[in-house]
């Protein structure tokens, strides 16, 4: 079965600093990969997805992620953090042979942004 | 257009009771998935429905069940509630089944079991 590992359950950055949230997946074949964001008392919102069209994926709110097959990684970055980016971020992978409904999520990383 | 609507948003039950949660997908979406979110286990897949048929099921006991209606609305039921069932239950819908279909999540139903 596939799995997703997010390094760091909490990440704190200063406003204007680089945001780097790490995600590694286990798979022998390129899966579909996703980043979702969850604000307090809300559901999950899709930031971006990788579906093999391009290794560098741009998402909403200035976020992007790069798929690196050799490292089985899909790290999320944003050049300059904003206070409104404070939220919990989840990396997810689709099951091999399954539908997107079978998303496997990482444990999440809470991002704090200091003024 | 309206997003995914989940009702109720909050509910409190006692052990042994049962609960039914409702999910109305985005208009035109035919696939509905359910996830349980807890601080300890994170987000775990419960089941997925497409065109009224359960397509996939996660590793949950039989106390957890669901169904989908002809209008794509879905319900999930948890019987004989346990304290450990306290969680945020998230519903997500997508247009199709499989591939790169994007999941759109609702705000969730927060269940507290006392």
Q: Tens of pLDDT along B10-58? A: 999 999 999 999 999 999 999 999 999 999 899 999 999 999 999 889 9
CA-CA distance, A64 to A81, in Å (whole number)? 13
What pLDDT is stored for residue A96 in this prediction?
A: 55
**Of residues B2, B17, B14, B10, the one with CA closest to residue B89:** B10
Contact A98 B31 (CB under 8 A): no
CB neighbours (10 Å) of residue B8?
12
Residue of A nearest to B92 (CA): A101
Tell me: pLDDT of B108 over 80.
Answer: yes
| For range B66-85, the mean pLDDT | 97
- Å between A101 CA and nearest CA of chain B: 6
What pLDDT is stored for residue B92 in this prediction?
A: 94
- Å between B16 CA and nearest CA of chain A: 27
Contact A46 B104 (CB under 8 A): yes
Contact A100 B94 (CB under 8 A): yes
Q: What residues form DSSP beta bridges with B109?
A: B89
Residue of A nearest to B46 (CA): A102
Residue B4: in which H helix or E strand, if any? none
| For range A6-17, the mean pLDDT | 96
Please state whether beta strands B64-68 and B10-13 pair in parallel, antiparallel, or not at all (unpaired). unpaired
Query: What is the overall mean pLDDT for chain B?
Result: 93
Banded model confidence at residue A28, pLDDT cuts 50, 70, 90: low
Banded model confidence at residue A94, pLDDT cuts 50, 70, 90: confident
Contact A100 B102 (CB under 8 A): yes
């Amino acid at each position: 079965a596939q799995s997703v590992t997010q390094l760091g359950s909490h990440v704190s950055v200063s406003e204007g600093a680089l945001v780097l949230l790490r995600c590694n997946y286990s798979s022998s074949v390129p899966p579909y990969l996703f980043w979702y964001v969850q604000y307090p008392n809300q559901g999950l919102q899709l930031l971006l997805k990788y579906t093999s069209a391009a290794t560098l994926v741009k998402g909403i709110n200035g976020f992007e992620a790069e798929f690196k097959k050799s490292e089985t990684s899909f790290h999320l970055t944003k050049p300059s953090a904003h206070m409104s980016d404070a939220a919990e971020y989840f990396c997810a992978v689709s099951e091999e042979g399954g539908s997107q409904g079978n998303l496997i999520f990482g444990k999440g990383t809470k991002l704090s942004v200091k003024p | 257009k309206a997003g995914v609507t989940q009702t109720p948003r909050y509910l409190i039950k006692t052990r042994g009771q049962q609960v039914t949660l409702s999910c109305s997908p985005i208009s035109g979406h035919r696939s509905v998935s359910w996830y349980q979110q807890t601080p300890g286990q994170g987000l775990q897949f419960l089941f997925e429905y497409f065109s009224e048929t359960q397509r996939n099921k996660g590793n949950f006991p039989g106390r957890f069940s669901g169904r989908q209606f002809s209008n794509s609305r879905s319900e999930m039921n948890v019987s004989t509630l346990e304290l450990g069932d306290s969680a945020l239950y998230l519903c997500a819908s997508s247009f199709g089944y499989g591939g790169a279909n994007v999941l759109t999540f609702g705000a969730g139903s927060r269940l507290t079991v006392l």
